Chains A and B, each alone.
Chain A
């Protein structure tokens, strides 16, 4: 047996109150694509941060070997020198800088004392070619979609001669086309001899791409599976991840949709001054009480803008059209008005728009509805803790305590906090924008079950999702959005992946 390119032995890492990794061992063979899967909070990101020196030597116990040689990284710079490149779960690009500056950030090409602009652009273009991104490197990162930003991240990592490329949930925010593209690029890198470690919750793509899969559960290695020997299948992965079998990913429910329309939007047009064009034109839709309405479409089709413009329009778009909530015409000048009218919106980018990372779990959960906990403006601290505990239990948020800062939670658990926050508002219409992005199968199932329970109690849910199976599995009715227009409305019984894709690209 050849020496593995990477071997991590008996890694243990603790945070105050949490043992994130206990005695984990992890081997990666030269040139393979190795997937790392596990539930939210299983320790995947932490393991990769140990590997890349984010947690320096001495901060954890255990050993790391690269091609048989023991390594002691004291920081990211050390691991980079050793040929390890990491792309974090949260993108790390500077939005207001150009693509070429971002690619060479921290490794600028100098001539004398100044940055050599021409060389920089040349090198950046080369790297972009490697990730098959046809793009003028002088555009600002801000102006790119998430999919392209993800590729720029990879180009950035590649510019540093990586031998091992780590990708932490690279496809979480990508649509299917971008996903396929990314997987193809990984295959290309593999041909060039780069070893890839990829963390993902999308088991289908894991199955498509992985040579080997390692499953983590509660900070321990459960098993390592070899795809060539046919050991990898969705059922097997789920069983190892969750510790039990889940037969039906989308739980069933008895329909209790009433005729009452809680939300109706008519002739909705949204114009952006910044972009100088309309993002949505003449959108009409309605939502019944007790219904789950899915909004399908490609990334950038305008679904998020639709939700945000209805939810008090925090972006200051110019709006036209009308919103009718429970028979009453409304106009919201800020999100607060929308919340008061019973509409809640759990945003897709929880770090940027959803949560206050430096505050604790409790404060985040209660933020949007402090009034319910206050007498004469004074917040009842004990009542607050009680509420937070209730939601922590209900949504099985994995945290040592409700006073833990949200920053320290794993990605999936942050998402649960974000949902808990909006449940506490007790809205009539809950808009969930990509509610299961970055969430493991077990937790997805819990969130779906919760959604069913909520509509059963008479809440209505609008679910925006780029994962077609999810839209199909959960919705009662589906609207398809394509470039700012609703191009189709399908009852769940008639909808298929093909029909939706056709409408989404029309």
Chain B
């Protein structure tokens, strides 16, 4: 009985679970080929930190693709904003918080400009953002022209990309000495919150007389997800604990996930993507939604620039090169559809992790860079093929 339920649930969600399975498979393969180095806490911590600046871009661009547009300017925009942040702190004497705020605000403004051109002037997003690509690339070269690479000597700022959240108990205490306690605690809190929330949702649905998962399946699901969350926290806690980058990415994902799945704004975004005409006639301002989405994309560019600059502890003349394509690839691996109206931010996060796992794993194996590109391309195609075929099978 439970097995049958299980199969039914898997089958109807195969597309969603497919990505998680792919991630597990990829991780499994690398763990074997690297004799376990890949799955070590240290490597995972590194991997997640590297994923950060692509992940936030991928999340931003997911929404852009959902509403049937594209943004090519994101790479150099984040590079440019990263450089500005560095200059603000080193040359203009901005405190860290002000430099960060400036990058975020300027990013949002830049996004709104692209959005304005697309929504109000009616320029195709491809062209508008291609112009942005050129302009921000030039701007990046311009601001780094005199100095070349700008070293950021600020420890607080550099902690964003390299540091870890402090622990509540001193490291030398005898209680679980190898692990980061606060990380474990956060993981535990997340599990408790998730379980309580799920139970509440289920009760809520039942009180309306709606269909819910059978009790067994529900328990199974809770146990499974709790174990996964627990394992992740355990692995992360094994090396310095949760990094600031990871914390930031988690916050971004949670906020975006909430907005897209629970709020009116989220519904409107997917409606505009699904059928702009119908959305407009339903009283949704397509222009406004377009503006919002590009604005959010710009905000993510600011964030990405900060993460990357902080990670390198410096701003370079080539920062941001090809980030846009990495972000787009991550979003497509994560299941977004360019036909509009389909795609989840959680999917894009997983897509980004899959994508960066490939890089990280192949680097560990010492795979030649030429082969790395080819394999990444193949995985991208495979992911989209899987997506397209499962979608067809369902309809």
Residues on A facing B (Cβ under 8 Å): 16, 311-312, 314, 334-336, 338-340, 345, 347, 352-359, 363, 367-368, 370-371, 374, 377-379, 381-382, 385-386, 405, 407-408, 421
Contacts of A367 in B (CB 8 A): 267, 271, 278-279, 282, 284
A357 contacts B281, C-beta separation under 8 Å: no
A382 contacts B208, C-beta separation under 8 Å: yes
A-B residue pairs in contact (CB < 8 Å), sample of 18: A334-B280, A356-B274, A356-B279, A358-B342, A359-B274, A359-B341, A363-B267, A371-B264, A374-B264, A377-B263, A377-B265, A378-B264, A379-B262, A379-B263, A382-B204, A385-B210, A407-B395, A421-B282
Closest Cβ neighbor of A376 among chain B residues: B263
From A358, A368, A374, contact of B282 by CB (8 A): A368
B264 contacts A379, C-beta separation under 8 Å: yes
CA distance A355 to B279 in the complex (A): 8
Given contacts A358-B341, A359-B271, A408-B395, contact A382 B283 (CB under 8 A): no
CA distance A16 to B265 in the complex (A): 31
Given contacts A356-B274, A359-B341, A367-B271, contact A345 B281 (CB under 8 A): yes
Of residues 258 through 312 on chain B, the ones whose CB sits less than 8 Å from some CB of chain A are 262-265, 267-268, 270-271, 274-275, 277-285
CA distance A363 to B205 in the complex (A): 17
Closest Cβ neighbor of A352 among chain B residues: B277
12 further interface pairs, Cβ-Cβ under 8 Å (given A354-B281, A357-B274, A374-B263): A334-B280, A334-B283, A335-B280, A345-B281, A352-B277, A353-B277, A355-B275, A356-B278, A359-B271, A370-B268, A371-B264, A382-B205
Minimum CB–CB distance from A46 to chain B (whole Å) comes to 14
B263 contacts A353, C-beta separation under 8 Å: no
CA distance A358 to B210 in the complex (A): 23
B283 contacts A335, C-beta separation under 8 Å: yes
Minimum CB–CB distance from B266 to chain A (whole Å) comes to 8
Contacts of A340 in B (CB 8 A): 283
Contacts of A352 in B (CB 8 A): 275, 277-278
Minimum CB–CB distance from B29 to chain A (whole Å) comes to 34
Contacts of B280 in A (CB 8 A): 314, 334-335
A379 contacts B267, C-beta separation under 8 Å: yes
Contacts of A347 in B (CB 8 A): 281
B281 contacts A335, C-beta separation under 8 Å: yes
Closest Cβ neighbor of B340 among chain A residues: A358
Minimum CB–CB distance from A24 to chain B (whole Å) comes to 22
CA distance A374 to B271 in the complex (A): 17
Interface string of B106-127 (1 = CB under 8 A from A): 0000000000000000000000
Minimum CB–CB distance from B309 to chain A (whole Å) comes to 33
**10 pairs of A and B residues whose beta carbons are closest in the complex:** A356-B274, A336-B283, A368-B282, A339-B283, A356-B275, A370-B264, A353-B277, A367-B282, A382-B208, A377-B263
Contacts of A371 in B (CB 8 A): 264
Contacts of B341 in A (CB 8 A): 356, 358-359
Contacts of A354 in B (CB 8 A): 278, 281
CA distance A405 to B284 in the complex (A): 21
Closest Cβ neighbor of A422 among chain B residues: B282
From B204, B207, B281, contact of A353 by CB (8 A): B281
CA distance A314 to B286 in the complex (A): 10
Of residues 76 through 133 on chain B, the ones whose CB sits less than 8 Å from some CB of chain A are none
Contacts of B285 in A (CB 8 A): 334, 336
Contacts of B274 in A (CB 8 A): 356-359
A355 contacts B208, C-beta separation under 8 Å: no
Contacts of A358 in B (CB 8 A): 274-275, 341-342
Given contacts A358-B342, A377-B263, A378-B262, contact A405 B395 (CB under 8 A): yes
Contacts of B264 in A (CB 8 A): 370-371, 374, 377-379
Minimum CB–CB distance from A122 to chain B (whole Å) comes to 36
CA distance A378 to B274 in the complex (A): 20
CA distance A407 to B92 in the complex (A): 57
Minimum CB–CB distance from B333 to chain A (whole Å) comes to 20
Closest Cβ neighbor of A314 among chain B residues: B280
Interface size on B, residues (CB 8 A): 28
CA distance A336 to B280 in the complex (A): 8
B342 contacts A356, C-beta separation under 8 Å: no
Contacts of A381 in B (CB 8 A): 262
Given contacts A314-B281, A353-B278, contact A359 B270 (CB under 8 A): yes
CA distance A297 to B282 in the complex (A): 26
CA distance A20 to B263 in the complex (A): 35
From A335, A345, A356, A385, contact of B271 by CB (8 A): A356
Contacts of A368 in B (CB 8 A): 282-283
CA distance A16 to B181 in the complex (A): 48
Contacts of A314 in B (CB 8 A): 277, 280-281
Of residues 337 through 395 on chain B, the ones whose CB sits less than 8 Å from some CB of chain A are 341-342, 394-395
Q: Give the residue among A353, A371, A374 with the most B Cβ atoms within 10 A.
A: A353
Contacts of B262 in A (CB 8 A): 378-379, 381
CA distance A345 to B277 in the complex (A): 13
Contacts of A374 in B (CB 8 A): 263-264
Contacts of A378 in B (CB 8 A): 262-264
Minimum CB–CB distance from A43 to chain B (whole Å) comes to 17
Contacts of A16 in B (CB 8 A): 394
Minimum CB–CB distance from A208 to chain B (whole Å) comes to 35
Contacts of A382 in B (CB 8 A): 204-205, 207-208, 210
Minimum CB–CB distance from B5 to chain A (whole Å) comes to 16
CA distance A356 to B205 in the complex (A): 25
Of residues 209 through 231 on chain B, the ones whose CB sits less than 8 Å from some CB of chain A are 210
Contacts of B279 in A (CB 8 A): 356, 367
Minimum CB–CB distance from B206 to chain A (whole Å) comes to 10
CA distance A355 to B210 in the complex (A): 25
Minimum CB–CB distance from A214 to chain B (whole Å) comes to 28
CA distance A347 to B210 in the complex (A): 31
Closest Cβ neighbor of A344 among chain B residues: B283
Given contacts A367-B267, A368-B283, contact A355 B395 (CB under 8 A): no
Closest Cβ neighbor of A370 among chain B residues: B264
CA distance A386 to B206 in the complex (A): 12
CA distance A356 to B282 in the complex (A): 10
Minimum CB–CB distance from B339 to chain A (whole Å) comes to 8
CA distance A339 to B284 in the complex (A): 10
CA distance A386 to B285 in the complex (A): 26
CA distance A385 to B210 in the complex (A): 8
Contacts of B282 in A (CB 8 A): 335, 339, 367-368, 421
Contacts of A339 in B (CB 8 A): 282-283
CA distance A347 to B264 in the complex (A): 23
Closest Cβ neighbor of A337 among chain B residues: B283
Minimum CB–CB distance from A75 to chain B (whole Å) comes to 13
Contacts of B284 in A (CB 8 A): 336, 367
Contacts of A334 in B (CB 8 A): 280, 283, 285
Contacts of A355 in B (CB 8 A): 275, 278
CA distance A334 to B394 in the complex (A): 37
Contacts of A335 in B (CB 8 A): 280-283
Minimum CB–CB distance from B16 to chain A (whole Å) comes to 15
Minimum CB–CB distance from A140 to chain B (whole Å) comes to 19
Contacts of B268 in A (CB 8 A): 370
Minimum CB–CB distance from B259 to chain A (whole Å) comes to 9
CA distance A196 to B203 in the complex (A): 55
Contacts of A356 in B (CB 8 A): 271, 274-275, 278-279, 341
Closest Cβ neighbor of A405 among chain B residues: B395
Contacts of A379 in B (CB 8 A): 262-264, 267
Minimum CB–CB distance from B332 to chain A (whole Å) comes to 17
Contacts of A363 in B (CB 8 A): 267, 271
Closest Cβ neighbor of A384 among chain B residues: B267
Minimum CB–CB distance from A55 to chain B (whole Å) comes to 12
CA distance A356 to B394 in the complex (A): 18
Contacts of A357 in B (CB 8 A): 274-275
CA distance A358 to B394 in the complex (A): 12
Q: Give the residue among A363, A374, A379 with the most B Cβ atoms within 10 A.
A: A379
Minimum CB–CB distance from B107 to chain A (whole Å) comes to 23
CA distance A382 to B277 in the complex (A): 27
Of residues 43 through 73 on chain B, the ones whose CB sits less than 8 Å from some CB of chain A are none
